[in-house]
């Protein structure tokens, strides 16, 4: 084995309930194996790498790295920086005009004496890591890049389960358990729970499932109006499933007439194409981020769905609530911590072998946990609406499954 001399860690992209846990797990594992291996953490993701801004992992930090398991977010900070988007990097003052951000990053790693770079992020982060790894190899820099897959959407191909997604579903369910009581505040109440998921409905479906588990464990007093029916999920809308608005409105109106409220779970990416077309028809510009993704806050799918259904089902009041920031900033739960630890341990093992890749259970290779080759990593893995537990959820809430929709990434 080829012992690393200096290791760097960075987190990037949006938050997920795994970042601090992954940082802490990597630091602890390196320290267990050989505390003489130097570690630094770049501040603010790829931004910190480009600027040479990092935290040294001191002996005191190593001793207390376990504390990170208790907190959500990323203590070392994130940023949405794409190294191949030269124009954006120049505009943000991260590189000078005429400089190649990938070369600037590579040269900074050499300057800092780093021979192993751990990137913790989603498909955009790992795509950037793949580009950087290819650049390093092509130009003989002799550095190894090892990724950990973070995303609450659980949409990284070919990884079976991305870090943080289980926790996000659990936390989204907890969030809605409080919000749903708002149906007591007004007759004929429509509550729209918007869940994160740009191109993938996994988190919305999983959050609905986790929420219904909470309902399964609750006790009810229908004689005084405390009924499961008013707390129930009445519809789940995801990007991969077609929606018959009129048929659903008719079904949900019957629910409203009977229960006096309707609760809808909707992915933030559901119906986006229809919404964007509507905005563009009005001559409105649709803003996009550095990666070319539509800024969903500007599109506001939850509000759109609320407006579409409110009149059709005779709602007197509509409440739209988003659980995304609550869910994604949570500390990792026990299941995620177990997954994170196994991925971090393998990442350190791969560092000693100088084996690049993204840690994950490879769906194309018997779901074995391994370093998946960077060129095979891509985002946009759709949620399979024919998954048994989702099919069962729809059947139990009385919603007809729509046809499959091809979702662009």
DSSP secondary structure string, 347-382?
HHHHHHHT--EEEEEETTTTTEEEEE-GGG-BS-PP
Residue 278's SS3 state is: helix
Give CA–CA dist 379/154, Å, rounded. Answer: 9
Structure tokens at 64: 């207390």
Strand 116-121, strand 317-322: pairing: unpaired
14 labeled part of a ligand binding site: yes
CA–CA distance, 297 with 307 (Å, rounded to integer): 16
Whole-number Å distance between alpha carbons of 398 and 251: 9
* 174 is known to lie in a ligand binding site: no
Is 245 within 8 Å of 272 (Cβ atoms)? no
Q: How far apart are CA 330 and CA 326, in angstroms?
A: 7
Q: Is 268 annotated as a binding-site member? A: yes
Give yes or no for a contact between 234 and 305, defined as CB atoms under 8 angstroms apart.
no
Asked if 57 and 26 count as a contact pair (C-beta separation under 8 A), the reply is no
SS3 percent helix, strand, coil of the chain, rounded to 5, is: 45, 15, 35
Residue 123 assigned as binding residue: yes
197 annotated binding-site participant: yes
Q: Would the CA dihedral through 238, 306, 231, 153 be positive or negative? A: positive
Q: Please check whether residue 136 is in contact with residue 116, taking contact to mean a CB–CB distance below 8 angstroms.
A: no
Q: Is 265 annotated as a binding residue?
A: no
Is 53 a residue of the active site? no
Known binding residue 38? Answer is: no
| Residues 78, 296, 23: CA angle, nearest 5 degrees | 20
Q: Is 142 annotated as a binding residue?
A: no
Catalytic annotation, pick one of 153, 336, 345, 362: 153
328 is in an annotated binding site: yes
Alpha-carbon gap, residue 61 to 8, rounded angstroms: 14
Q: Is 345 annotated as a binding residue?
A: no
Please name the residue that has the structure tokens 């579903």.
169
**CA dist., res. 128 & res. 84, Å (int):** 8
Is 144 assigned a ligand-binding role in the annotation?
no
Kindly report the backbone phi and psi dihedral angles of residue 190, in degrees, each rounded to the nearest multiple of 5, phi listed first.
-105, 120
Q: How far apart are CA 141 and CA 132, in angstroms?
A: 11
Which residues, listed in sequence order, are joined to residue 83 by a DSSP beta bridge? none
73: alpha, beta or left? (left if phi > 0; alpha if psi -120 to 50): left
Residue 152 labeled ligand binder: yes
Residue 338 known to bind ligand? no
Query: Can you say which residues are annotated as belonging to the binding site for Mg(2+)?
Result: 123
Active-site annotation, residues: 153
Query: Can you say which residues are annotated as belonging to the binding site for diphosphate?
Result: 14
Query: Can you say which residues are annotated as belonging to the binding site?
Result: 14, 123, 151-153, 196-198, 268, 325-328
């Amino acid at each position: 084995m080829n012992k690393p001399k200096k290791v760097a860690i960075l987190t990037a992209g949006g938050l997920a309930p795994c970042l601090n846990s992954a940082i802490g797990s990597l630091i602890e594992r390196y320290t267990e194996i050989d505390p003489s291996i130097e570690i630094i953490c770049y501040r603010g993701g790829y931004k910190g790498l480009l600027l040479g801004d990092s935290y040294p992992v001191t002996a005191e930090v190593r001793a207390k790295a376990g504390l990170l398991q208790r907190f959500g977010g990323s203590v070392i900070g994130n940023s949405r920086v794409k190294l191949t988007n030269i124009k954006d990097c120049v505009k943000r003052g991260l590189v000078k005009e005429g400089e190649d951000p990938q070369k600037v990053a590579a040269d900074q790693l050499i300057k800092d004496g780093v021979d192993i770079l751990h990137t913790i992020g989603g498909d955009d982060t790992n795509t950037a890591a793949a580009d950087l790894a290819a650049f390093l190899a092509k130009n003989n820099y002799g550095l190894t890049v090892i990724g950990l897959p973070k995303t609450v959407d659980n949409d990284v191909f070919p990884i079976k389960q991305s870090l943080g997604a289980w926790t996000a579903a659990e936390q989204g369910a907890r969030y809605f358990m409080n919000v749903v009581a708002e149906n007591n505040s007004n007759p004929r109440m429509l509550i729209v729970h918007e869940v994160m998921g740009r191109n993938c409905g996994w988190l919305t479906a999983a959050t609905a499932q986790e929420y219904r588990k909470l309902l399964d464990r609750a006790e009810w007093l229908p004689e005084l109006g405390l009924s499961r029916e008013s707390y129930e999920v009445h519809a789940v809308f995801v990007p991969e499933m077609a929606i018959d608005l009129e048929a659903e409105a008719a079904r949900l109106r019957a629910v409203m007439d009977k229960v006096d409220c309707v609760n809808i779970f909707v992915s933030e990416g559901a119906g986006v194409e229809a919404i964007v077309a509507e905005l563009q028809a009005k001559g409105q510009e649709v803003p996009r981020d550095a990666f070319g993704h539509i800024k969903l806050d500007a599109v506001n799918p939850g509000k759109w769905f609320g407006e579409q259904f409110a009149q059709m089902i005779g709602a007197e009041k509509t409440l739209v609530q988003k659980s995304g920031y609550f869910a994604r900033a949570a500390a990792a739960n026990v299941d995620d911590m177990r997954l994170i630890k196994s991925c971090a341990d393998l990442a350190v093992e791969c560092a000693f072998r100088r084996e690049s890749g993204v840690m994950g259970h490879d769906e194309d290779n018997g779901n074995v946990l391994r370093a998946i080759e960077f060129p095979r990593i891509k985002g946009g893995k759709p949620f399979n609406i024919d998954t048994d537990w989702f099919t069962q959820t729809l059947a139990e809430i009385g919603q007809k499954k729509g046809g499959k929709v091809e979702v662009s990434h």
